[in-house]
């Protein structure tokens, strides 16, 4: 029986950085099976969780003075909530691990404590007939487990999802890292669009215009992937694509002030590009929030994409056109 | 979560009060606390806060709750990838979440 540490080592912390930045993001699986913290006995609680590194770390860190069994199921290295939504964190998988680990030989009771956010994939009332153990939903966050184990029930607060500034901030590195690949594809296009002009691909002109385009793209990235997530509750409007557009437009002001030599057409092209880029990245952040419904996102997606595609197209036409006008 | 509201009328969520047996599972599991039990029946008190996670419907023992059954999460990248996959006639690759 592997007994796990309730504090994180340097290697664990490095792994967290890897998982949070998207470097080998999908390679953070914990071997499914039974683990323990402290010295659990036949009466000790059985906590069920996912085999994603960040989930496993969050769980064991909160169990410093507790004796408990940890039944880690195979959620394919995905967190509890997403895995439950995708159907991998399921009754069948829990029942399979219960039997595989011969849980009934280890504990005298027949109760499993499930994370509340597994409820979209686990019908707790079905577990009893599947594996002989009944499931009870514990709190949403592992940090509330000690209190839950003590009281035997979770408060309303423990059962409500939150999306605090800190919870949003840890998502930002991944939002940025997911953009790098797309940016690498865009760079040759930027170069092409900046090279078109009365003197095609003149070295100095092309490079300076390329640099301006790149700077505008980074401004869009800061607006859509950093500021919108951080300032989420304070940016007006509920649709994410408009949130992104508003923040992007606001950042255009300092951008244009920093580039006083630009012609009017170039300014318009940059504003359109920053607005479209920031709007798109903000819209993609819907996937990281705990409160956007699928129906809602589908609804705003149409309007958002129409704006983003037409603004990008207009910018791609205006940018080379400006070289001929000046 | 009071600071975060999304499109109020978007979510597809139906509760059949006649079928409901008042077990309270929906009220227990909802991460946005939009159900309460009143006189032995579940009641939706904040429909606009529903994010269609489906926890209530999954844990309703009598099938009294209907939530948008479309696969996937409320994630723009996922929906766009599904569209592209449909056009190319492939299985959606997901959004990486």
Write out pLDDT tens, residues A21-47. Answer: 776 655 688 999 999 999 999 999 999
Contact assessment for residue A161 and residue A171, using Cβ atoms and an 8 Å cutoff: no
One digit per residue, the tens of pLDDT, for chain B of length 97 reads 667 999 999 999 999 999 999 999 999 999 999 999 999 999 999 999 999 999 999 999 999 999 998 766 778 888 888 888 888 877 665 555 5
In a domain, B60, yes or no: yes
Tell me which chain B residues have a C-beta less than 8 angstroms from the C-beta of A120.
53-55, 58
Based on the domain organization, do A170 and A313 belong to the same domain?
Answer: yes
Based on the domain organization, do A213 and A101 belong to the same domain?
Answer: no
User: What confidence score (pLDDT) does residue A9 get?
Assistant: 84
Q: Which residue does chain B place closest to A124, by CA atoms?
A: B59
Based on the domain organization, do A87 and A235 belong to the same domain?
Answer: no
Q: Over 90: is that where the pLDDT of A91 sits?
A: yes
User: What confidence score (pLDDT) does residue B95 get?
Assistant: 55
The residue segments making up the domain with residue B29 are: 13-69
Q: Over 80: is that where the pLDDT of A210 sits?
A: yes
In a domain, B31, yes or no: yes
CATH number at residue A22: 3.40.50.11600
State how far the Cα of A63 lies from the Cα of A295, in Å rounded to an integer.
38
The pLDDT of A315-322, averaged and rounded, is 94
Tell me the per-residue pLDDT of A5-25, one tens digit each, with 9 for 90 and over: 888 888 888 888 888 877 665
The residue segments making up the domain with residue A117 are: 10-161
In a domain, A126, yes or no: yes
In a domain, A216, yes or no: yes
The pLDDT of A170-181, averaged and rounded, is 88
Based on the domain organization, do A52 and A143 belong to the same domain?
Answer: yes
Among B4, B49, B77, beta carbon nearest to A284: B77
CB contact under 8 A, A291 and B51: yes
The answer to which of A4-8, A219-223, A313-317 has the lowest mean pLDDT is: A4-8
Tell me the per-residue pLDDT of A253-303, one tens digit each, with 9 for 90 and over: 999 999 999 999 999 999 999 999 999 999 999 989 999 999 999 999 999
In a domain, B8, yes or no: no
In a domain, B2, yes or no: no
In a domain, B46, yes or no: yes
Based on the domain organization, do A62 and A85 belong to the same domain?
Answer: yes
Q: Which residue does chain A place closest to B7, by CA atoms?
A: A296
User: What confidence score (pLDDT) does residue A214 get?
Assistant: 95
Based on the domain organization, do A38 and A85 belong to the same domain?
Answer: yes
Enumerate residues 198 to 257 of chain A having a beta carbon within 8 A of any beta carbon in chain B.
232-233, 238-240
Number of domains in chain B: 1
In a domain, B77, yes or no: no
CATH number at residue B18: 3.30.70.20
B7 in contact with A, Cβ within 8 Å: yes
B50 in contact with A, Cβ within 8 Å: yes
User: What confidence score (pLDDT) does residue B1 get?
Assistant: 67
- Domain end marker among A161, A183, A198: A161
- Domain end marker among A161, A188, A214: A161
User: What confidence score (pLDDT) does residue A143 get?
Assistant: 95
Among A120, A288, A293, beta carbon nearest to B11: A293
The answer to which of A40-49, A140-149, A191-200 has the lowest mean pLDDT is: A191-200
Among B32, B33, B73, beta carbon nearest to A85: B73
B51 in contact with A, Cβ within 8 Å: yes
User: What confidence score (pLDDT) does residue A133 get?
Assistant: 97
With a threshold of 0.85, tell me whether the complex ipTM lies above it.
yes
- Domain end marker among A161, A179, A201: A161
Measure in Å the smallest separation between the Cα of A39 and chain B Cα atoms. Answer: 30
In a domain, A241, yes or no: yes
Among A120, A288, A289, beta carbon nearest to B58: A120
In a domain, A228, yes or no: yes
A5 compared with A314, residue with greater pLDDT = A314
Q: Which residue does chain B place closest to A86, by CA atoms?
A: B72
Number of domains in chain A: 2
């Amino acid at each position: 029986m592997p007994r796990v540490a309730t504090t994180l080592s340097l290697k664990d912390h490095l792994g967290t950085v890897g998982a949070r930045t998207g470097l080998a993001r999908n390679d953070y699986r914990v071997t499914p099976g039974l683990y323990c913290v402290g010295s659990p006995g036949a009466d000790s609680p059985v906590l069920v969780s996912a085999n994603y590194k960040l989930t496993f770390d969050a769980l064991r860190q909160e169990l410093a003075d507790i004796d408990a069994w940890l039944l880690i199921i195979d959620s394919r290295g995905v967190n509890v909530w997403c895995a439950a939504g995708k159907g991998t964190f399921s009754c069948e998988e829990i029942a399979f691990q219960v039997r595989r680990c011969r849980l009934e030989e280890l504990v005298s009771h027949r109760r499993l404590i499930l994370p509340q956010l597994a409820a979209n994939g686990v019908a707790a009332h079905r577990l009893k007939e599947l594996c002989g153990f009944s499931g009870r939903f514990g709190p949403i966050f592992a940090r509330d487990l000690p209190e839950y184990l003590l009281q035997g029930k979770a408060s309303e607060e423990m059962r409500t999802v939150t999306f605090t500034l800190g919870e949003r901030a840890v998502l930002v590195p991944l939002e940025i890292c997911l953009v790098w690949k797309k940016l690498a594809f865009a760079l040759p296009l930027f170069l092409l669009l900046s090279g078109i002009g009365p003197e095609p691909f003149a070295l100095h002109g092309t490079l300076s215009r390329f640099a301006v385009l790149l700077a505008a793209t980074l401004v869009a990235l800061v607006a859509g992937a950093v500021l919108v997530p951080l300032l989420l509750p304070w940016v007006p409007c509920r649709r994410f694509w408009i949130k992104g557009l508003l923040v992007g437009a606001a950042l255009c002001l300092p951008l244009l002030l920093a580039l006083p030599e630009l012609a009017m057409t170039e300014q318009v092209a940059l504003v359109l590009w920053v607005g479209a880029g920031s709007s798109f990245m903000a819209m993609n952040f819907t996937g990281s929030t705990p409160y956007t419904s699928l129906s809602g996102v589908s609804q705003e997606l149409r309007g958002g994409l129409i704006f983003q595609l037409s603004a990008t197209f207009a910018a791609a036409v205006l940018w080379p056109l400006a070289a001929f006008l000046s | 979560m009071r600071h975060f509201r999304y499109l109020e009328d978007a979510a597809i969520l139906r509760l059949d009060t006649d079928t409901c047996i008042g077990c309270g599972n929906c009220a227990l599991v909802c991460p946005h606390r939009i159900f309460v039990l009143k006189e032995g029946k579940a009641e939706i008190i904040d429909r606009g806060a529903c994010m269609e996670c489906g926890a209530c419907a999954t844990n309703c023992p009598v099938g009294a709750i209907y939530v948008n059954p479309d696969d996937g999460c409320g994630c723009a990248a996922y929906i766009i990838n599904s569209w592209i996959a449909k056009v190319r006639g492939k299985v959606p690759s997901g959004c990486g979440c």
